[in-house]
Structure 1
């Protein structure tokens, strides 16, 4: 199977439709952005949608947030066509996307939000498998730290973890983590950088946090 990965062009409507067909079935409706919001991301200078092709068929994607003059990236979404899962395409897609991202925008910490497998859930095995997937590629967990997803509804956020991929990074100062959280909350989720949840997350963390 010949797999290759390339960035979705800002004016390519046919490839956008192929991407959206996978996106619209890969996530619960509560976690999806609107088609218009995704079109805006396609045209934004601080987002790149990487598409995975098997021969000429789109079989997966990942969306990277890469703001200018910031010291981190965010893996916002990633999915493989459900008919193509379980054969290693996800690993190849993510590795290639990270390589292209680093080559284009420089090497920074890539942040990855995941549901915590350490909390009991009826999706326990799925969560454990997802964490193992990212850890196998070299992502590390911030310790000690519990991430609060910045939902804007009254719904309680699920227990989360924040993983970091950056091969040369093994510790981060509390101030760096605070800066990342403020930018995520304000620029990605539309919350205030002074959101009380940020202070709650940082209340008991040490001055230096390990990546384990």
Structure 2
């Protein structure tokens, strides 16, 4: 069954955070209280997919809405449900409701897992940019991750990349470039 995406219920925050910690390196995950505070940000939405009975959180998409683009900061499916097509269904549903271009970050294609992620997004219409940056450490440990942007439905020009990078760093990472 293809369940719709809906805003995460606040009472399911701990389930969301558990999936987040199981799905991303710690350097890419804010401390729990900082992540919870994002629920009060006007530009931030946690889109959730629940099971058919609307009880179990199957996955989520963490979105930042900018004036002229949407930014997916995190996207994950519960570990025990991976490989069943849920991620593709979620992404397709998300892109159907998107009213502007969508950006997301991927790690450099230097590992098999990173390459598989890039191929997943390509199959869903995203294009890998040649532009990238070093993501600030969300836990402030000093660790850094080199990332590249992918955009849907069309590629970024260098000037668009610079503009969107500055906006992401300002709103999402609270850093000035």
Q: How high is the TM-score relative to the length of structure 2? A: 0.86
The two structures, once aligned, show a CA RMSD in angstroms of: 2.1
Secondary structure of 1:141's counterpart equals strand
- The number of residues matched between the two structures is 173
Matched, 1:85 2:86: no
Matched, 1:72 2:59: no
Paired residues of 1:23 and 1:79 also in contact (CA < 8 A): yes
How many Å separate the matches in 1 of 2:41 and 2:143?
A: 30
Unaligned runs of 5+ in 1: 196-212
Q: CA deviation at 1:176?
A: 2.1
Q: CA deviation at 1:4?
A: 1.0
Match of 1:131 in 2: 118
How many Å separate the matches in 1 of 2:120 and 2:170?
A: 28
How many Å separate the matches in 1 of 2:13 and 2:30?
A: 14
Secondary structure of 1:79's counterpart equals strand
Match of 1:35 in 2: 32
How many Å separate the matches in 2 of 1:150 and 1:127?
A: 16
How many Å separate the matches in 1 of 2:123 and 2:16?
A: 26
When residues 84 and 191 of structure 1 are mapped into structure 2, their CA distance, relative to the original with a 3 A threshold, is same
Moved over 3 A (4+): 152-159
Matched, 1:115 2:107: yes
Q: How high is the TM-score relative to the length of structure 1? A: 0.73
Match of 1:149 in 2: 134
- The answer to which structure, 1 or 2, has the higher relative contact order (CA under 8 A, 6+ apart) is 2
Max radius of gyration: which structure?
1
Unaligned runs of 5+ in 2: none
